[in-house]
Amino acid sequence: MNIAQFIISIPLFMVLFFGIGFILNMLLKTTWLPSVLSGGVFLIAWVATGGLKWVDIVILLSGVLGGVLSSVAIRELRRHGYRMF
């Protein structure tokens, strides 16, 4: 993997998982589902490939971080009185 691809992939996966997690949180009204699903994706990728390189782990962890951040964002918005759908 090229270093430019690696650098671009980290925020890309974080934003991608944040967006998907935010939409799932709004539609399903569950706060921590995206975090659990992100961890599940990480686990499935680990088992399916028979092991991951450090580059893959960093990129997937940035995605998991995006999922966790979406859960935190929805929780804070609900705590401050915003209702999603």
Give per-residue pLDDT as tens, 3-59: 999 999 999 999 998 998 888 888 877 767 776 777 777 778 777 877 778 898 899
Write down the pLDDT at residue 7: 94
pLDDT category of residue 61 using cuts at 50, 70 and 90: confident
Comparison of pLDDT for 73 and 44, the residue scoring more = 73
- Confirm if 26 and 78 have CB atoms less than 8 A apart: no
The answer on pLDDT for 70 being more than 80 is yes
Structure tokens at 54: 């450090």
Query: Cα(27)–Cα(82) distance, rounded to whole angstroms?
Result: 14
Q: What pLDDT score does 26 carry?
A: 81
What is the rounded distance in angstroms from the CA atom of residue 38 to the CA atom of residue 40?
5
